[in-house]
Amino acid sequence: MLSPSVLHIDCAVAVRHIEESICEAVYHRLHRKGIVVGVSGGVDSGVVAAVAARALGSDRVIGLVMPDADSASESAELAQMLGQALGIRMIVEDVTATLAAAGCYRRRDEAIRSVVPEYDDGYRCKIVLPDLVTLPGYPLYAVVVRSPSGEERRVRLPLDAYLGIVAATNFKQRVRKMMEYYYADRFRFAVAGTANRLEHDQGFIVQKAVRHIPFRPLDVGKLCFLRFEGVPHIAPSMLRGRATVRRGTSADIAERRAVRERRPLRRRARRRPDRGL
């Protein structure tokens, strides 16, 4: 019978294996001095930063915080807490101006206004799916908008509007990855990705370039079991909430389903080495 026990791992063994992989990739394969990690304040990047610091030493890890106009202030605070706990160098780069210059916000807002004409400055939004596990029917994307007064409205997205929103918001992870490579080149470091297993499975990753650390991500469900002494606690609910917005199902349920279906993630990764962590 399938249960959460299938996600249990020997944390010490798993971390030691990843540490060895990081050292091999950074020092011997890529010939770099250290590693740059984009730190969001969430579970995935926090675990990667912690393991990288254990593997290379805190003086060889740079944590890059890259907020934008849509970022919650507590995300940057959590990222700074993590950096302080790990003793790594933290750099803050606000990417709002770069995203605005590329038309990220304007293009996204135009797509939203095609279905919610009143959407304007001060509104907040997110794309959602119905719960794919518990609710019947065909899953259709919708946008949830919140007005400055706090009133929420949910509207089904036609394909053109959905693609416009996704294409515009994808500027964010690509600009952030570009910034990571700037610091990697500046200090002769490598870049670590922070995508988890479900993001690899759904294609929610940024195409990598050179000097990228290709170690496999820890599974979403398994991340929540890893604990590092001195690292501030980050609630697993934060990760589940983000996964709900992207894929319409909670992370723990989706992970169990992935295990049950035996998706060939490892074989796919070997066939496509250009899609890294």
pLDDT in tens, 182-222: 999 999 999 987 876 666 665 566 655 444 554 444 433 34
Please tell me which residue, 182 or 13, carries the higher pLDDT value.
Answer: 182
pLDDT in tens, 93-134: 999 999 999 999 999 999 999 999 999 988 998 888 877 666
On the question of pLDDT at 227 being above 80, the answer is: no
Question: In the predicted model, is pLDDT for residue 167 greater than 60?
Answer: yes
Task: Tell me the pLDDT band of 14, cut-offs 50, 70 and 90.
Answer: confident
Sign of CA dihedral 239, 243, 245, 250: negative
Query: What's the pLDDT tens digit per position in 243-258?
Result: 333 434 444 444 444 4
pLDDT (0 to 100) of residue 128: 87
pLDDT at 157 over 80: yes
Query: What is the dotted CATH code of the domain comprising 4-101+171-271?
Result: 3.40.50.620
Report pLDDT for 46.
Answer: 87
pLDDT number for residue 158:
93
Output the pLDDT for position 207: 59
pLDDT band at 168 (very low <50, low <70, confident <90, very high): very high
Q: Residue 225 pLDDT > 50, yes or no?
A: no
| pLDDT, position 139 | 79
Q: Which tens digit of pLDDT belongs to each residue from 51-82?
A: 899 999 999 999 999 999 999 889 999 999 99
Q: pLDDT band for 18, please (50, 70, 90 cuts).
A: confident
